[in-house]
Structure 1
């Protein structure tokens, strides 16, 4: 009985482990531009088909108040083989993601 419990535990842990493809993913493309006080931009692609890009620009909101406005997107291939893409902006209105697979209020 104890052997069955140990086997079931080991099997559960093994099945929950990430696939080798994800664990061994490599960055295949990387670009990064630091624009100093004006912002930044970067993008990367990985061998397991993850992609991300983002850029930020300094925006003035009035007397001595400025902040970065960030725009970007990321995409990945789900377990179902479909590519999911999320586009987002983060500004004075907070983080605002948009994607076909994200329910709208």
Structure 2
């Protein structure tokens, strides 16, 4: 009887430890918040946040530049780096290409969602390979 109780207790402890490890594993990250608006064919807005610290917000709008319709995109993304610091990158993409905005404080006033905006500090170091994989549609792991 004592052996079966001891085995049961060990199994319970093992399952608790295993469960705690799987919660921290980025493969088990959950989407905490997701918004998407596309009611106008010439503009869009989306925002999401995951349980492993990834955040992204983007607003795109077609504008007329030199008599040509161009999609102009403003956005920002954040991720928890290997140094356990939250890194935020602000960017713009337009007829001049994709650019990271270097200003230390940049205000965005998104018309979608909750009105968005706020200031963010731009990361002054390279983007981690996990963040790049996530932005490319991968899982950002391994």
TM-score (norm 2): 0.54
User: Any gaps of 5 or more consecutive residues in structure 1?
Assistant: 1-18
How many residues are paired up? Answer: 84
Find out whether 1:35 has 2:39 as its counterpart: yes
Measured in 1, the distance between the counterparts of 2:65 and 2:98 equals 17
Counterpart in 2 of 1:12? Answer: none
Can you give the 5+ residue segments of structure 2 that lack an aligned partner in the other structure? 1-22, 102-121, 127-142
**Which runs of structure 1 show a deviation greater than 4 angstroms over 4 or more consecutive aligned residues?**
none
CA RMSD between the two structures: 1.8
Deviation at 1:102, TM superposition (A): 4.1
Alpha-carbon shift at residue 35 of structure 1 (Å): 3.3
1:92 positional shift: 1.0
Query: What SS does the aligned partner of 1:23 have?
Result: helix
- Asked if residue 96 in structure 1 is aligned to residue 99 in structure 2, the reply is yes
Alpha-carbon separation, structure 1, partners of 2:78 and 2:59: 16
Which has more strand, going by share of residues?
1
Deviation at 1:52, TM superposition (A): 0.3
